[in-house]
Amino acid sequence: MSAPPHDLTAERYLVGAVLRSEGARDIALAEIVAGDLFAPDHRTVWAAAGSLAASGAPVDALGVHAHLRQAGGAESAAQLVLDVDSTMAFVSLDAVEQRCKRVRDLAAVRKVLAAARGLALEVADEGVGDPSEWLDRAEQFITEAAEHRGDDGQMFTAREVMAECMSHFVARAERGGAPDGHMSGLVEVDSKLGGFAPGRLYVFAGRPGSGKSVLSKDVGLGLVTSTGWPALFVSLEMPKKELGDRMICSEAGVLYEDWRTARVTPDELQAVGKASKSIAEMPLYFIDKPRAAVEHVTRWGRRLKRRTGKLATVVVDYLQLLTTTKRNYSREQDVAHVSQSLKALAKELECPVIACAQLNRAADARQDKRPLLSELRESGSIEQDADAVCLMYRDDYYHPESERKGVVEVNVAKHRAGPTGVAELSFQGKYVRIANLETYHEPEPDYARGPEW
């Protein structure tokens, strides 16, 4: 069997650079661990250099050679130090960075190959069983290997940061002060939030029936329309067909109950055909997995980003239904891990992530049913991790004779990047949509409560 992919020349160069250059040492020891190297002697020398650096001792050929000789059993590695040091003439920091990437990439490939061999042996011993389990495990290995290649972030100088700040300011000024975020078309919400900005986590929270699922749907579709980029809808509470039905009714202006019971008129059927064709041509992707883990959402998002280049948004309905493959000691820790992962995903994919969240029943016991931030279910981490939390309330849900029929309040109760305040929108439950109040508001006495969206 041939040896797995490796580059001994690149490894030897890095070993020599660590021994000869302090600048190269700082870069290489931060980027490469001993296990990334293929040659056993290279790994031994690397581990010795790292150990000396961690203890504050000098890291040079003499020091590493002495350390290896003292440890015993590493004669060939000790000789390698002398050989490399005697032949290393010049160290280029650019070359060090290039070779670090090369070595890490090859280490990632070896890791995938080793995992594949291990999985193949397990399949041979145990049989396939559930294929989706094996596919999930294989994808997890690939994802971990890709992460191992190293996107640990970059270090930037103050000059670079200030240049970026001024560039953004100039661009904003050229837009007449318009916000950085993408517009959903729901004017009051866009105005309160400054649009939906890449890298941010937006949480729509409310009790059942408040309209959070409808709002997440309509914001997601609005962002796709305004950017032309794809969106990923992760539907945990309802099947993809039901979400598709809602999109059709919303777009066609057909009563959801009539659609559900196939009682549409010929004119409405024509509108439905037009709406379904329009939606079919949109770059929308749906995940329908009732017991999905947040790690699955991360992989789906990465996969779609690799395929399409840019994303308008990722919509998750709803956050507390996500599980995690990480072993935690409590449900609160699980939810905290989920919210932290969604925030990290927004930054990684450079798109807004929108997550619905349930509130506890505390508001039901109060005279004023408007929700509070403290009522987010199961974890204070949601409020902490979110860049904006929008609390949703419909007065006519609790008071059928309310003068504010068809109005949904979206209280931006937390906003890391701007002011808070209440936006008002039109809740059109019979069409399963939310729209701008001044343009589309229609009181809906027969649907005041409506289904539990």
Dump the DSSP string for 16-64.
HHHHH-HHHHHHHHHH--GGG--SHHHHHHHHHHHHHHHHT---SHHHH
CATH number assigned to the domain covering 8-148: 1.10.860.10
Inform me whether the pLDDT recorded for 452 exceeds 70: no
Q: What is the pLDDT of residue 201?
A: 93
Inform me whether the pLDDT recorded for 348 exceeds 70: yes
Q: What is the pTM of this model?
A: 0.64
What φ, ψ does residue 238 adopt, rounded to 5°? -135, 150
Q: Residue 30: CB partners within 8 Å, gap ≥ 6?
A: none
For residues 207 and 359, the answer to whether their CB atoms sit within 8 Å is: yes
Most confident segment among 194-208, 249-263, 293-307, 429-443: 194-208
Closest CA to 17 of 79, 97, 73, 72: 97
Q: Residue 197: CB partners within 8 Å, gap ≥ 6?
A: 179, 180, 181, 182, 352, 387, 417
Band (170; pLDDT cuts 50, 70, 90): confident
For 33, 43, 212, 264, 398, the CA distances from 367, given in Å and listed in that order, are 60, 68, 22, 40, 10
pLDDT tens digits, one per residue of 256-283: 888 878 787 888 888 888 888 888 888 8
The CA R_g of the chain, rounded to the nearest whole Å, is 28
Domain ranges of the chain: 8-148, 181-447
- Work out the percent of the chain whose per-residue pLDDT is above 70: 86
Take residue 223 and report the two structure tokens written for it: 């962002």
Closest CA to 406 of 436, 371, 446, 442: 442
Q: What is the pLDDT of residue 352?
A: 92
Take residue 194 and report the two structure tokens written for it: 């400054």
- Work out the percent of the chain whose per-residue pLDDT is above 90: 5
In the sheet where 201-206 sits, what is the strand order? 284-288, 231-235, 313-317, 353-358, 201-206, 388-393, 407-415, 421-428, 433-436
In the DSSP assignment, the letter for residue 445 is G
What is the C-alpha separation between 390 and 240, in angstroms, rounded? 25
Strand ranges (E), 141-250: 201-206, 231-235
What is the C-alpha separation between 46 and 81, in angstroms, rounded? 10
For residues 107 and 36, the answer to whether their CB atoms sit within 8 Å is: yes
Packing angle of the helix pair 212-227, 240-252 (nearest 10 deg):
70
pLDDT tens digits, one per residue of 114-159: 877 777 777 777 666 666 666 666 666 666 665 555 444 556 677 8
- Average per-residue pLDDT for the chain: 80
Q: From the centroid of its chain, how far is CA 235?
A: 15
Question: What CATH homologous superfamily does 181-447 map to?
Answer: P-loop containing nucleotide triphosphate hydrolases (3.40.50.300)
What is the C-alpha separation between 204 and 425, in angstroms, rounded? 14
Closest CA to 53 of 76, 78, 32: 32
Largest CA distance in the chain: 89
What is the C-alpha separation between 33 and 322, in angstroms, rounded? 34
What is the C-alpha separation between 416 and 5, in angstroms, rounded? 46
Dump the DSSP string for 93-126.
HHHHHHHHHHHHHHHHHHHHHHHHHHHHHHHHHH
Euclidean distance between the first and the last CA atom of the chain, given in angstroms as a whole number: 59
Closest CA to 183 of 227, 130, 124: 227
Take residue 344 and report the two structure tokens written for it: 């990290």
* Torsional sign, CA 189, 190, 194, 199: positive
**Identical fold, 8-148 and 181-447:** no
Find the angle CA(140)-CA(145)-CA(46) to the nearest 5 degrees.
145
